[in-house]
Chain A
Amino acid sequence: MKNDEDAEDVLQEGFVLIFSNLHSLKDIDALYGWMKRIMINKALRKLSQQKSKSKDQILDDALLIGDESHIIEHLHAEEILEHIQKLPEGYRTVFNMYVVDGYKHSEIADILHIAEGTSRSQLTKARKLLQQSLSALKSMLI
């Protein structure tokens, strides 16, 4: 989520949903996955309700990207999250689902009702944009 208020709303609504439907969970082993799925769905619904007013940035595919992997090691999680938050909504959603939550492209496509190819391209563009952002940070540090 882009801000703390929205994240708190999702957390609150997600837990209400979890507690309300806890009785329907037959397999306790599936609790973690079930909760995670509920939270993600809640977050996605929240995002779709907000429906980003600004259009997604068009990335310059010709942008030169260096190896920014090492800089991540020097960043705190909050700083990384801050950069992820700056991603356009569509890219951020796919990036979070793929990289953080571990969904496959086919699953993302199914959940977000988009083509699998779209999920892949969104992820590629999200990566590029994030690397661009981190590259700028790198130059500042140097």
Chain B
Amino acid sequence: MMNEDPFDQKIRNSLNQHQSQPPADMWSRIMADMQEQRKSRRWIWMVPILSLTILITAAWLLGLFSYENSIDNIDHIHTEKSTIVQPSDETLVPATHGQLNESQQESNNNSDITLLSSEENDAEWIGQEGQAHNALLSADDKVVNNTQNQRAIQSKSAPNHLIGDDHLMTEVEQDHVNTRIDGHTTEQDRRDKPTRLRQDESSESGTDNRSDDLSNQRSNLNRHDNLSTELADDTKIAEVDADNRTKVPGKATNSYAWADIGAAPLLNTESPYLVELMPAPRNSTGFQYGHFVYDPCSVRGNSRKSRQHCYTLIRRSQNIFADLTVGSRYAAKSFLAKSDEALSLRSDRLNSETPLFGLIVNARAGIKWRNNIIGITGIQYAKVFERFHYYNPREERTTLNISIRDTIVDAQTGQIEYRYDTTYVTSVGERRVKHTNSITRINVPITIGYMWELDKLQLGIHGGILANLYFGQSGRVIDADGSVASLSGDHRRDIYKMNAGLGITGSAFIAYEIQRDLYFLVEPQFSYDLGSITQASYDLEQRYLSIGLNIGVRMKLTETYKNKKKLNH
């Protein structure tokens, strides 16, 4: 105050010397207040934690736990009409191994038969109006699943497979068995019809075990007899899948360019980083060509007038903050049929899939410049749950039941003969498949926006791109042929891309300062897929529009730097 009013000066001088005594109990009052504040502060922390807990719990209770998966089960088939039991058919089975020639093996490798392990709980037999697509083998059920088409094929030429309670019989062993079903199937027929075989590794190992067992039988008749008795009690299960299932296209990989989200935006215009070249030490065996030096100061100006200028990593006018939010969201999807033929698929999928809810977790950092512009980036984990509900009132299933009736062992040659009974059972009824589908994404949002800061309040909007890092899915969908396809597991139908690509996102936020530099954040947010998330070969284009509410905390990091002394000398 250069030209200070003398009146003001005299008042200041007289007041500066003035001292007044605080009340005697002031200290105890302050201490009591602080104790009170500590207690209330605990509750402040509880607000976001409690909110998060309620939100997550409610979402899970409403969505996931209210809906139990129901994979197709024989119990869901209400056998209403026909049960056809065919007369048993005796089959002679020579048990010698090692007589299989190469041509037989080739024919087995090309078999049309689909074998699935009984442990494959997720497997399903899927048939609609006589079409078979997948097959379920259940040792417990002791049935063979088949459809009319399958039966028709099998009645002519298809071989069957024998499956024990513990393992599946391989095609090697199977082919070696001169099995005749309904008096039509011959070994020659099987050779004439090239088939494709899919078989679990477990079944292969089962084959090896069986082979070993049979070899041992030759050398030990007592053991041989025991096994024979055991086998005689077994009911074997086989399944034939005659459907030419659509070949799964190769996984398309989409890659996208990534924006550099490094620390560059935090730095001032001139880089303070220098690379200083240094000779490598004589004894060094490494590759030390230099070292990285951080020098915040540099000399600016000319020879007459120069001054040293130093950088600060973050200017006072730049506020850095970090957010951690959790949210719930509703994800609506849109389908676009690529052709008229795909319209029915679009309709089927829309009718069978219902959005449930989604969860989203955001961990990100942002910067606010002096002009209130903000930039935010980080990592986002999003999971969307959907309900899949398939219902077919005219489901039809034909099962083939093969059981070993007799086992005869030739004591001289060591050969074993099996006699089989075959039974067909046709069930007609309704079928339901219920499943909770999920789509998981890990994204990197890069957004810019505007923020207003009031006393304890922050208001803002921001939007930008959402780049997908990971995209995964599980569950069931209706396929183009009306069957139910799995999105995960060994027999999944790859209809989605490996990467969802780019999307757009936007949100508005309100943040309230609950503690110094700690804000409670509420943020409505949306995101939308710019491109289809399905593969190019799939008949439909699919996109998601997600709308949700995030809550969490924001921490202002600038204060850490704010009180640092200026580096300017």
| Chain A interfacial positions (CB closer than 8 Å to B) | 8, 11-13, 15-16, 19-21, 24-27, 30, 68-69, 72-73, 75, 77-78, 80-81, 84, 98-100, 102, 127, 131
Contact = CB atoms under 8 A, between A and B. Distances in A.
Given A26-B563, A102-B1, A127-B5, A73 B10 contact: yes
Contact of A13 (B8, B11, B33): B33
Contacts of B6: 69
Contacts of B29: 12
B330 to A, nearest CB: 40
Nearest to B562: A26
Interface string B1-31: 1000111101110110110001100100110
The 5 tightest CB contacts between A and B, nearest first, are A77-B18, A26-B563, A72-B10, A16-B33, A99-B8
B37 interface: yes
Contacts of A27: 563-565
**Interface size bracket, B side:** 20 to 34
A8 B6 CA distance: 31
A116 to B, nearest CB: 16
Interface of B: 1, 5-8, 10-12, 14-15, 17-18, 22-23, 26, 29-30, 33-34, 37, 516-517, 559-560, 562-565
A131 B563 contact: no
Contacts of A69: 6-7, 10
B556 to A, nearest CB: 11
Contacts of B517: 24
Contacts of B23: 8
A8 B26 contact: yes
Given A24-B559, A98-B8, A127-B7, A16 B15 contact: no
A12 B10 contact: no
Contacts of B37: 16, 20
B15 A100 contact: yes
A80 B12 CA distance: 10
Contacts, number: 66
B5 to A, nearest CB: 7
19 contacts: A8-B26, A12-B29, A16-B33, A16-B34, A16-B37, A25-B563, A30-B563, A72-B10, A72-B14, A75-B14, A77-B15, A81-B18, A84-B11, A98-B8, A99-B11, A99-B12, A100-B11, A102-B1, A131-B7
Contacts of B10: 69, 72-73
A91 B26 CA distance: 29
B7 A68 contact: yes
A20 B34 CA distance: 7
Nearest to A8: B23
Contact of A12 (B1, B26, B559): B26
A69 B14 CA distance: 12
A34 to B, nearest CB: 9
Nearest to B22: A11
Nearest to B18: A77
Contact of A77 (B7, B8, B14, B563): B14
A72 B11 contact: yes
A121 B310 CA distance: 41
Contact of B30 (A16, A80, A100): A16
Contacts of A99: 8, 11-12
Given A19-B34, A30-B563, 13 more contacts: A16-B30, A16-B37, A20-B34, A69-B7, A69-B10, A72-B7, A78-B18, A80-B15, A81-B15, A81-B18, A84-B11, A100-B11, A131-B7
| Majority secondary structure, B binding face | helix
Contacts of A77: 14-15, 17-18
Nearest to A84: B11
Given A30-B563, A127-B7, A80 B14 contact: yes
Most chain A CB inside 10 Å of its own CB: which residue of B11, B12, B18: B11
A58 B30 CA distance: 40
Nearest to B30: A15
A98 B6 CA distance: 14
A118 B413 CA distance: 119
Given A99-B12, A100-B15, A127-B7, A19 B30 contact: yes
B516 A24 contact: yes
A32 B153 CA distance: 95
B16 to A, nearest CB: 8
A19 B34 CA distance: 8
Contacts of A20: 34, 37
B516 A21 contact: yes
Contacts of A15: 30
Contacts of A30: 563
A21 B11 CA distance: 33
Nearest to A96: B15
B563 A11 contact: no
Contacts of A19: 30, 34
A93 B325 CA distance: 42
A64 B562 CA distance: 49
Q: Of B14, B37, B565, which is in contact with the most chain A CB atoms at under 10 Å from its CB? A: B14
Contacts of B14: 72-73, 75, 77, 80
A80 B11 contact: yes
Contact of A100 (B5, B12, B563): B12
Contacts of B1: 102
B289 to A, nearest CB: 38
Contacts of B562: 26
B518 to A, nearest CB: 11
A12 B33 contact: yes
A11 B6 CA distance: 30
B17 to A, nearest CB: 7
Contacts of A68: 7
A100 B14 CA distance: 10
Contacts of A80: 11, 14-15
